[in-house]
Chains A and B, each alone.
Chain A
Amino acid sequence: GEDVEQSLFLSVREGDSSVINCTYTDSSSTYLYWYKQEPGAGLQLLTYIFSNMDMKQDQRLTVLLNKKDKHLSLRIADTQTGDSAIYFCAEGSRAGKSTFGDGTTLTVKP
């Protein structure tokens, strides 16, 4: 079946860039997503990228997709303490069903 993997923890200093990496196995994935979860809350979509794109930029967020290697990354520029959260990579390949990674806990130190 489909599998999505990501590293569990990342710690950066405020103002630095954060890069969260993800690999997936389903070559038929149509969309790749990044969701953010703050403590005690549900997940919220941060950004997504269509599988025929290599890069997508949205303000401080840059998503890179290497479809050949099935590798997705999320770069957060000028990381702030408010960016501390759990970030989930997910892939969508069938009608609305998404497979999620285990989440990367980002800690931003002042």
Chain B
Amino acid sequence: DAGITQSPRHKVTETGTPVTLRCHQTENHRYMYWYRQDPGHGLRLIHYSYGVKDTDKGEVSDGYSVSRSKTEDFLLTLESATSSQTSVYFCAISGTGLAGGTGELFFGEGSRLTVL
């Protein structure tokens, strides 16, 4: 299994509070992603990173920010959590993207966030 650790695995918070989810990898992979999974919506890309300090928005980036100061860590921050951000969040990594590789994604176990 790819070395991907997400923390916390479960969190309950209140509307308006800041929340940070952490993704830590031991594979030295270049690409890292944050997805959210919701019933009826599959997985939707929030933000991704193609290197240290290089990040970009995905299809559902509003209300989220990310940071990547080290290869191994990718942080997802909800500045002011809302109930619509209740979801399961998955971090994923990829070694090569599609340049010389298959673009296969390796996923973490997920972080379940409940915003009351």
Chain A residues with CB under 8 Å of chain B are: 1, 4, 30-31, 33, 35, 40-45, 48, 50, 88, 92-103
Contact = CB atoms under 8 A, between A and B. Distances in A.
Nearest to B110: A42
24 contacts: A4-B42, A31-B98, A31-B102, A33-B104, A41-B110, A42-B90, A42-B108, A42-B109, A44-B107, A45-B104, A45-B106, A48-B102, A94-B98, A95-B31, A95-B103, A96-B33, A96-B48, A96-B50, A96-B94, A97-B48, A98-B103, A100-B35, A100-B42, A102-B42
B59 interface: yes
Contacts, number: 74
A41 B109 contact: yes
Interface string B84-116: 000000101010111100111111111000000
Contacts of A45: 104-106
Interface size class for chain B?
20 to 34
A42 B42 contact: no
A41 B1 CA distance: 12
From DSSP, what is the main secondary structure of chain A's interface residues? strand
B98 A96 contact: yes
Contacts of A35: 105
A88 B90 CA distance: 14
B107 A42 contact: yes
B40 to A, nearest CB: 6
B78 interface: no
Nearest to A4: B42
Contacts of A98: 45, 103, 105
Given A92-B102, A97-B33, 11 more contacts: A33-B104, A42-B4, A43-B90, A48-B104, A88-B42, A88-B43, A92-B103, A94-B98, A95-B99, A96-B31, A97-B48
